[in-house]
């Protein structure tokens, strides 16, 4: 899913490979945290990770964050309507155990 940035990437090949792992060291996060995420859905999350980690074009959307776990975030990146609709179509039957993936995780057990 990171192939879009292979000729001008801001990430290493190792980062690209880790983005594709169900349990990756990148965020110590497992895509299958609420049961197996369907592959057709997972590919959108992997590509999102590749965009975040590898795109050299995110400068205009870097926003300063003042949290204990990050100092920057990517905010308001324009997305193509077709991509959003396909993401919804591919993930509408998948499940998550969280209302908001950006906060409230309990990391005490890893």
Question: Which of 22, 67, 28, 62 is closest to 46 using CA atoms?
Answer: 22
Q: Which token pair is 11?
A: 């990430």
- How far apart CA 110 and CA 108 sit, in angstroms, is 6
The pLDDT of residue 2: 82
Q: Render pLDDT for 20-73 as a digit per residue (tens, 0 to 9).
A: 888 777 777 788 878 889 999 999 989 988 998 899 999 999 999 887 767 888
What residue has token string 């100092």? Answer: 71
Query: Taking the model in full, what pTM does it have?
Result: 0.80
Under DSSP, is residue 58 helix (H, G, I), strand (E, B) or coil?
A: coil
Per-domain residue ranges of the chain: 3-91
75 and 65 in contact (C-beta within 8 Å)?
Answer: no
Dihedrals phi, psi of 36, to nearest 5 degrees = -70, 125
């Amino acid at each position: 899913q990171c192939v879009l940035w292979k000729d001008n990437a801001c990430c290493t090949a190792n980062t690209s490979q880790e983005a594709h792992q169900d349990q990756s060291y990148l965020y110590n996060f497992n895509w299958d945290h609420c049961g197996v995420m369907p592959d057709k859905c997972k590919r959108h999350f992997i590509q999102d990770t590749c965009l975040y980690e590898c795109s050299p074009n995110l400068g205009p959307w870097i926003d300063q964050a003042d949290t204990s776990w990050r100092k920057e975030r990517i905010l308001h990146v324009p997305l193509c309507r077709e991509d959003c609709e396909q993401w919804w179509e591919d993930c509408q039957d998948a499940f998550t155990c969280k209302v908001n993936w950006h906060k409230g995780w309990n990391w005490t057990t890893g």
